[in-house]
């Protein structure tokens, strides 16, 4: 609703003031371009989708595994955790040019950028989730004779699932952004490439098409993870804890 209203206001302002198209196109023009240029656009969309998906899977997979390893080795965790927190404050994207120098322009540096962007939120969220396991439940499990692995699989991992999912949601949105930015560094296909081409030829409408698609993709990823969360995490979970 709010979005629709915003689009209408935007349309009216552009029409009233007569801003040139190349500076600020009206939504109607953007949609028209989106519709007409679909044939041309969709290979780029597909490339970005693939790239962000691969990066996301690699990044969140290694993130989760790292978190599990660190959790099971508390000594190591305590020394590395501050570094993880610190790394969250560095925009990973700034590493992109470096990666290009090291790995060239192929697929590799792009995937590394996206994976890195996804890696940290998952690792930190999972570690926090494992650590926050309710002490009375842990106490029961220990008194009942649970082994270390039973404690992890039967208590800590399920307990941390909501935290892991909130990490996944952040990473999912980051992954699309990471993909687009890594494409700016040089690629044949991808929304990032499409954007660079569009802006250099002053096709502002196309830039907006790209922006809208980036938003849609991010929301789509986010929604998919939310749906997975809803099927995996029981609704009852939230009532009990916090």
Partner 1 sequence: MTLLNISNLSKSFGNETILAHLNLSVAEGEFVSILGPSGSGKSTLFHLVGGILAPDEGEINLNGDVISGKRGYISYMPQTPSLLPWRNILHNVTLGQELQRKADKETAKDMLMKAGLQQYMNAYPNELSGGMKQRAAFIRALLSPQSVLCLDEPFSALDELTRQEMQEWLLGTWEEYKKTILFVTHNIEEALFLSDRIIILSSKPAQVKAEVTVPFSRPREKKLLLEDEFFKWKRKVYNLLTSTADEYITRT
- Beta carbons of 25 and 208 less than 8 angstroms apart: yes
Compute the least distance from the CB of residue 159 to partner 1, in Å. Answer: 8
Q: Is 164 in the site for partner 1 (CB under 8 A)?
A: no
Closest CA to 162 of 117, 132, 118, 119: 132
Q: Which stretch binds partner 1 (CB under 8 A): 31-39, 101-109, 155-163, 190-198?
A: 155-163
Minimum distance of partner 1 from residue 83's CB (angstroms): 32
Contact assessment for residue 142 and residue 134, using Cβ atoms and an 8 Å cutoff: no
Binding string, residues 170-199; x marks residues near partner 1 by CB under 8 A: ------------------------------
The CA distance from 218 to 157, in Å, is: 27
> Shortest distance, CB of residue 225 to partner 1, whole angstroms?
18
Q: What value, to the nearest 5°, has the Cα angle with vertex 10 and ends 4 and 13?
A: 140
Burial bucket for residue 237 (CB in 10 Å: 0-12, 13-18, 19+): middle
Contact 171, 110 (CB under 8 A): no
Using rule CB under 8 A, residue 139 touches partner 1: yes
> Which one of 154, 186, 212, 229 is in contact with partner 1 (CB under 8 A)?
154
Q: Measure the CA–CA gap between 191 and 104, rounded to whole angstroms.
A: 20
Quote the least distance from Cβ 151 to partner 1, whole Å: 9
Among 36, 150, 199, 201, binds partner 1 (CB under 8 A): 150
* 158 near partner 1 (CB under 8 A): yes
In Å, what is the CA distance from 22 to each residue of 19, 26, 195?
A: 9, 10, 14
DSSP 23: T
107 makes contact with partner 1 (CB under 8 A): no
Cα–Cα distance measured from residue 76 to residue 72, given in angstroms and rounded to the nearest whole number = 9
What is the total count of residues that contact partner 1 (CB under 8 A)? Answer: 23
Asked if 242 is part of the footprint of partner 1 (rule: CB under 8 A), the reply reads no
137 binds partner 1, rule: CB under 8 A: yes
The only residue of 2, 136, 200, 231 in contact with partner 1, by rule CB under 8 A: 136
Contact 171, 126 (CB under 8 A): no
Residue 149 binds partner 1 (CB under 8 A): no
Contacting residues toward partner 1, per CB under 8 A: 136-137, 139-147, 150, 154-155, 158, 161, 233-234, 236-237, 239-241
């Amino acid at each position: 609703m709010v979005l629709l209203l915003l689009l209408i206001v935007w349309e009216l302002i552009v029409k009233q003031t007569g801003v040139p198209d190349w500076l600020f196109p009206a939504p109607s023009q953007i949609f028209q371009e989106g519709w007409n240029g679909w044939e041309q656009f969709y290979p780029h969309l597909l490339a970005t989708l693939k790239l962000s998906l691969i990066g996301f899977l690699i990044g969140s997979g290694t993130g989760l595994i790292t978190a599990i390893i660190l959790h099971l080795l508390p000594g190591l965790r305590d020394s590395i955790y501050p570094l993880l927190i610190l790394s969250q404050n560095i925009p990973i994207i700034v590493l992109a040019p470096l990666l290009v120098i090291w790995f060239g322009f192929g697929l590799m540096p792009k995937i590394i950028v996206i994976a890195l962007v996804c890696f940290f939120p998952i690792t930190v969220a999972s570690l926090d989730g494992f650590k926050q396991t309710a002490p009375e439940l842990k106490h029961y499990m220990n008194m009942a004779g649970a082994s270390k692995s039973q404690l992890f699989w039967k208590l800590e991992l399920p307990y941390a699932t909501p935290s892991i999912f909130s990490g996944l949601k952040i990473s999912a949105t980051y992954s699309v952004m990471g993909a687009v930015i890594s494409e700016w560094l040089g690629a044949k296909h991808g929304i990032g490439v499409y954007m660079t081409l569009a802006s250099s030829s002053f096709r502002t409408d196309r830039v907006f098409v790209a922006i809208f698609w980036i938003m849609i993709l991010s929301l789509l990823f986010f929604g998919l993870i939310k749906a997975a969360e809803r099927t995996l995490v029981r609704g009852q979970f939230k009532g009990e804890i916090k």
